[in-house]
Structure 1
Amino acid sequence: MDELDILKRDWKKQEATLPKISYDDIYKMIHKKSSSIVKWILIISIAELLFWTGLNLLIPDSYLEIYEKFNLKTFLLATQFIHYIIVIVFIYFFYKNYKAICVSENTNLLMKKIIKTRKTVNYYVYYNIIVYVLLSIILNIVMFSNPETLIEALNPGNLNIDGDKFLNIMLIVQVVTLIVMLGLLCLYYRIIYGIFLRRLSKNYKELASLEH
């Protein structure tokens, strides 16, 4: 049982007598917890952006040369730029939600801000998952549509290999990799952002119970 649950329990026990714990005390506690949750969502989203930016800076140019053989380098750079812009927009929305929750002065307004924050987080999660899947599918379609170029790019030593067998193996590897990475991505978002969303939902229910 956390601090808020204890506070609510004591408040209900004192309803028959002169209350020492007021409605405002519980509201302030929920308000504080909600603003803290949204602040952490903002911090983690910024940390994610910095992490992926730093990781991209460490990728050697030779990695992009493979995609250049398929005329995909410009497409990847443009997609990456647009993606960063969209992520920054989401971070801005997280910041606005945080500031809005911090200044909420009544229960109804706070409940509305919690709902809005939950929607923003869900959109952010869905966006990242959909972008990863679509980009992976597009890249693989383009590369496997040019089998000779793909074999040349992945077999720079010109080893004597069975082209069809090699492509089949690569296709299986790509599909398995996509499924595994998608699973890890969903697990990450479910654990990290799922925890915050569940806590916000709990706070919303607590506020709703105060209104009845």
Structure 2
Amino acid sequence: MKELDLLKKDWNKKDTEFPKLSYNDIYKIIHKKSSSIVKWIFIICIAELFFWSFLNFLIPDSYLDIYEKFHLKTFLFVTQAIHYIILFVFIYLFYRNFKAICVKDTTNKLMKSIIKTRKTVNYYVYYNIILYAIISIVFNISMFSQPDILVEVMNPSGADVDSQLFINIMLIVQIVTFFIICGLLWLYYRIIYGILLKKLTRNYKELESLEF
């Protein structure tokens, strides 16, 4: 929004080489930028849906059989079904936010739409990270509460190993992996959605300054 700052500085200057921009002109620029940002949020959300759906198709049946041994297959399918329903709800909300911003014709309404979009994005980010955390915790509690099956699954060759040491190492690996993936998810959403939200916040502040 640096260009807007420069335009506002020259707004009331009499002797300027640049064309005069009215309040409405600057509002239209902010409106267009906000609409474009929300559209990209909507597109990225849909792209994520297709990406994860594609990965699910690549998972071999043998991998799912592992969850069957821990009686987690039903839980996995139910969780996925609920996840897709909630994901479609978020897609609908992002689309509604995009359409709302496109038709807003007053500064106050546009500012409210920006706030609503920011809240929706934050909820979406929190939802994805919390969902991963819940699924991971449930899976690990179930697996580590059945150590004999866990050793059998993770040691299919039947090699002679110290079961307790093996379980302890697996537990440490799972805990480290859990925090790494949570961190990567947070970093991904921080970068992708954080950049877009930062631009929306900038637009909001510009609209606030126009109001006074």
Would the TM-score normalized by the shorter structure come out above 0.5? yes
Superposed CA deviations along residues 156-187 of structure 1, whole A, max 9, x for unmatched, are 11111100000000001101110111110000
- The equivalent of 1:114 in structure 2 is 114
Residue 103 of structure 2 corresponds to residue 100 of structure 1: no
Q: What amino acid does structure 1 have at the position aligned with 2:147?
A: P
* C-alpha distance in structure 2 between counterparts of 1:52 and 1:13, whole Å: 53
- The equivalent of 1:51 in structure 2 is 51
Taking a change above 3 Å as real, the CA distance of residues 158 and 207 of structure 1, as seen in their structure-2 partners, is same
- The equivalent of 2:181 in structure 1 is 181
- The equivalent of 1:192 in structure 2 is 192
- The equivalent of 1:207 in structure 2 is 207
SS at structure 2 position matched to 1:11: coil
- Identical-residue share of aligned pairs (%): 68
* C-alpha distance in structure 2 between counterparts of 1:8 and 1:112, whole Å: 23
- The equivalent of 1:127 in structure 2 is 127
* C-alpha distance in structure 1 between counterparts of 2:11 and 2:203, whole Å: 17
Residue 54 of structure 2 corresponds to residue 69 of structure 1: no
- The equivalent of 2:35 in structure 1 is 35
* C-alpha distance in structure 2 between counterparts of 1:2 and 1:14, whole Å: 21
* C-alpha distance in structure 1 between counterparts of 2:82 and 2:107, whole Å: 38
Q: 1:20, CA displacement in angstroms? A: 2.4
Q: 1:67, CA displacement in angstroms? A: 0.7
In 2, are the aligned partners of 1:94 and 1:120 still within 8 Å (CA)?
yes
Structure 1: any 5+ residue segments left out of the alignment? none
* C-alpha distance in structure 2 between counterparts of 1:145 and 1:130, whole Å: 22
* C-alpha distance in structure 1 between counterparts of 2:31 and 2:46, whole Å: 23
In 2, are the aligned partners of 1:14 and 1:20 still within 8 Å (CA)?
no
Q: If the length of structure 2 is used for normalisation, what is the TM-score?
A: 0.95
* C-alpha distance in structure 1 between counterparts of 2:48 and 2:5, whole Å: 32
* C-alpha distance in structure 1 between counterparts of 2:14 and 2:206, whole Å: 18
SS at structure 2 position matched to 1:13: coil
* C-alpha distance in structure 1 between counterparts of 2:169 and 2:211, whole Å: 60
Query: How many residues are treated as equivalent by the alignment?
Result: 209
Q: If the length of structure 1 is used for normalisation, what is the TM-score?
A: 0.95
